[in-house]
């Protein structure tokens, strides 16, 4: 995609989704979309306080090393910033870190249910492909090597990288 952008003088920075949308707009309208504005680096307010369970989730929340250390101290070494937890932070401005801890434990419970399948973001094409590959009954008994081989094959062709079940 970057080669295409360079060839047609399109901006190359941004997420895979942003670049894809930029290319699609260019191909359908001949218009060049500019980069989305860069995020401003967050600076700590002069009244900075240490993180606590009462810390409010703000619009500028970052999954920083400081936040990671705080949650590891509360939850334990098994703590990870999951995509689902990051979405919780984005969608729950004004709630507290205590709410985030509760959400994290609830997510762990959901993961124990074999039918639970968290949503995989569109930018994670490979993860979506492999999940669909292994859900296809045609591939029962196949290995990760088989899935990677199928991914490499579809990726090498023009068009969508979405797994299509065998008929």
Model confidence over 101-160: pLDDT tens digits?
Answer: 999 999 999 988 888 888 787 778 999 899 999 999 999 999 999 999 999 999 998 888
Whole-model pTM: value is 0.57
pLDDT in tens, 55-94: 999 999 999 999 999 999 999 999 999 888 999 999 999 9
DSSP codes, 20-63: HHHHHHHHHH---PPPPPPPPPP---TT-----TTPBP-TT---
Residue 159's H or E segment, with its range, is none
For the chain, state the CA radius of gyration.
21
Q: What is the pLDDT of residue 107?
A: 92
Q: What is the pLDDT of residue 85?
A: 93
Does residue 46 surpass a pLDDT of 50? no
Determine the Cα–Cα distance for residues 20 and 41; give it in Å rounded to an integer: 26
């Amino acid at each position: 995609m970057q080669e295409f952008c360079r060839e047609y003088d399109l901006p190359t920075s941004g997420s895979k989704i942003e670049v894809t949308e930029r290319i699609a707009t260019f191909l359908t309208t001949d218009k060049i979309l500019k980069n989305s504005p860069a995020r401003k680096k967050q600076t700590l307010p002069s009244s900075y306080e240490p993180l606590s369970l009462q810390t409010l989730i703000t619009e500028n929340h970052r999954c920083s090393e400081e936040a990671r250390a705080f949650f590891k101290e509360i939850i334990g070494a098994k703590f990870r910033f999951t995509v689902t937890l990051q979405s919780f932070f984005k969608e729950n401005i004004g709630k507290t870190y205590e709410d985030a801890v509760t959400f994290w434990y609830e997510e762990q419970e959901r993961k124990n249910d074999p039918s639970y399948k968290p949503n995989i973001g569109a930018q994670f094409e490979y993860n979506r492909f492999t999940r669909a590959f292994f859900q296809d009954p045609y591939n029962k008994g196949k290995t990760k090597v088989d899935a990677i081989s199928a991914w490499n094959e579809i990726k090498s062709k023009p068009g969508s990288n979405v797994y299509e079940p065998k008929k």
